[in-house]
């Protein structure tokens, strides 16, 4: 199938927002999504953007049952390793179910790493839920290491009241 | 003990580099450190910095056995959740062993969250090795969730040859 990978524009944020929700439904966590397309527009298309996004688009004749031509996205940002330097983090990689098996996911992933390489990045990291075998297999087949298994890294998060409490305790000097 | 938390400057990068190595030694991974203080200067103190860093400093009269007055650091950057929006990631939090137990780690952590709150961040995330019980306890005592345990998130990484191979496979359109 014919498709094109291109950087997202501000005008794509409604479509990105739709696919973020589709992915969250797949991950059984749709109640967690609190982001609006206006926030994506504000935070991704400003002077120091918080993220970058690539879009997969098919020609009109291949549009989805519901009429969509934007059928996948890769959402990433730049991070930094104090051991290795410039890195990337892939927050989301998604292809609509009816478009899978056409190499679109692989193409999105490759394009992200190409963009990162051009910026001097030496790592691409991401997180996957342990029950999400299709995704774990997809990344493993391309040479990814599972660092939670091999090195024992655990993911830790502060949010809500605990984050507020920490911020309130900051020294005033 | 008297101490001050302040944003790092370019001139602090040699000291940050020293402490990065001390922390890696503690984590039994010192052979992994490939970063130089020149890279830290270049990547942290440019127009779109890849990271930010806070420094803990003690007065001259409390300097370490080796003569250091910069005794801790918090190294972080901005990330983005497609569910919640603006976030922070704490790459490193370190206090030199002889200065622990004085609230310096807590002060650094709180200051990072305060900086993040002022920028609209709703999460602070980090990673800890599963055998590092003192750190896991430190974060848990302040209300952090271990998402690897509670939700099953695994950390995945591409680097080296596999990253190169992916980038080479990027579509040319």
Q: Do B80 and A84 touch (CB under 8 A)?
A: no
pLDDT at B172: 81
* Measured distance CA(A30)–CA(B169) in Å, rounded: 33
By Cβ distance, the residue of A81, A110, A165 closest to B167 is A110
Which tokens in the block code for residue B111?
């200051």
Question: By CA distance, what is B108's nearest residue in A?
Answer: A170
3 state DSSP class of A57: strand
CB contact under 8 A, A167 and B109: no
Task: Quickly state the pLDDT bin for A91 (edges 50, 70, 90).
Answer: very high
Euclidean distance between CA atoms B115 and B7, whole angstroms? 10
Catalytic residue list contains A80: no
Neighbours of A9 (CB within 10 A): 12
Find all residues with CB under 8 Å of B95, minimum gap 6, and list them.
B56, B71, B72, B104, B105, B108
End-to-end alpha carbon distance in chain A = 60
Residue A172, pLDDT > 90, answer no
**Cβ contact, residue pair A34, B171, below 8 Å:** no
Q: Residue A54 pLDDT more than 80?
A: yes
Say yes or no for a CB contact (<8 Å) between B147 and A154: yes
Question: Residue A173 has what pLDDT?
Answer: 61
Q: Do B20 and A164 touch (CB under 8 A)?
A: no
Label residue A165 by pLDDT band (50, 70, 90). Answer: very high
CA angle A59–A64–A66, rounded 5-degree value: 130
Query: A65 CA to chain B: closest CA distance, Å?
Result: 25
Write the CATH number for A156: 3.40.630.30
- Among B106, B125, B171, beta carbon nearest to A155: B125
DSSP structural state of residue A164:
H
Beta strand segments in chain B, E = 4-7, 52-57, 70-81, 85-95, 123-129, 145-146, 153-159
Residue A142 located in a structural domain: yes
Does residue A60 sit within a domain? yes
In a domain, B173, yes or no: no
Q: Which helix (H) or strand (E) holds A4?
A: strand A4-7
Q: How far is Cα A39 from Cα B36, in angstroms, rounded to an integer?
A: 36
- The total domain count for chain A is 1
Residues within 8 A of B (CB atoms), A 71-100 only: 75, 77-86, 89, 91-92
CA distances (Å), origin A127, targets A90, A144, A155, B154: 8, 11, 9, 5
H-assigned helices in B37-142: 37-44, 104-118, 133-141
More confident residue, A173 or B21: B21
Query: In whole angstroms, what separates CA A129 from the centre of its chain?
Result: 14
Q: How close, in Å, is residue B81 to chain A by CA atoms?
A: 7
Determine, yes or no, domain membership for A133: yes
Q: What is the pLDDT of residue B156?
A: 95
pLDDT at position A97 = 95
Q: Which chain A residues have a beta carbon less than 8 Å from that of B76?
A: none
Could you give the 3-state DSSP secondary structure of residue B41?
helix
Inter-residue contact A67 to A125 (CB < 8 Å): no
Q: Give the structural domain span for B62.
A: 4-168
Nearest 5°: the CA angle B1, B2, B5 is 120
The separation between the first and the last C-alpha atoms of chain B, rounded to the nearest angstrom, is 60
CA distance B153 to B167: 25
Answer whether A148's CB lies under 8 Å from A154's CB: yes
Q: Inspect the interface and report whether the beta carbons of A154 and B129 lie closer than 8 Å.
A: yes
What lies within 8 Å, CB to CB, of A8 at 6+ separation is A16, A44, A52, A53, A54, A55, A73
> Across the 173 residues of chain B, what is the mean pLDDT of every consecutive 10-residue run?
96 98 90 96 95 98 96 98 97 96 96 96 95 94 95 94 93 77
Q: What is the mean pLDDT of chain A?
A: 95
Number of separate helices (H) and strands (E) present in chain A: 6, 7
Is there a domain that residue A173 lies in?
A: no
Mean pLDDT of A152-172: 93
Residue A88 lies in a domain: yes
Chain segment A55-80, per-residue pLDDT in tens: 999 999 999 999 999 999 999 999 99
Quick check: is A32 in a domain? yes
Contact B125/B79 with Cβ under 8 angstroms?
yes
Residue B156 belongs to some domain of the structure? yes
User: What pLDDT sits at residue A33?
Assistant: 95
Each residue of B5-36: pLDDT tens digit?
999 999 999 999 999 999 999 888 899 999 99
CA-to-CA distance for A72 and A100, rounded, in angstroms? 9
Q: Among A50, A114, A158, whose Cβ lies nearest the Cβ of B80?
A: A50
The CB density around residue B7, as the number of other CB atoms within 10 Å, is 11
Q: Which residues pair with B90 in a beta bridge?
A: B76
What is the DSSP code string of A89-113? EEEEEEE-GGGTTSSHHHHHHHHHH
């Amino acid at each position: 199938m014919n498709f094109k990978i291109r950087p997202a524009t501000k005008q794509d944020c409604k479509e990105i927002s739709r696919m973020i929700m589709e992915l969250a439904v797949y991950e059984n966590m749709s109640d967690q999504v609190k982001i609006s397309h206006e926030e994506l527009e504000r935070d991704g298309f400003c002077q120091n953007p918080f993220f970058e996004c690539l879009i997969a688009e098919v020609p009109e004749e291949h549009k989805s049952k519901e009429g969509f031509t934007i059928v996948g996205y890769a959402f990433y940002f730049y991070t930094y390793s104090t051991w290795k330097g410039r890195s990337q983090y892939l927050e989301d990689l998604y292809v609509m179910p009816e478009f899978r098996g056409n190499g679109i996911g692989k193409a999105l992933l490759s394009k992200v790493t190409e963009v990162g390489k051009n910026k001097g990045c030496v790592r691409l990291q991401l997180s996957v839920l342990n029950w999400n075998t299709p995704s774990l297999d997809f990344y493993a087949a391309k040479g990814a290491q599972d660092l939670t298994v091999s090195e024992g890294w655990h993911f830790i998060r502060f949010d809500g009241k605990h984050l507020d409490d920490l911020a309130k305790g900051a020294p005033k000097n």
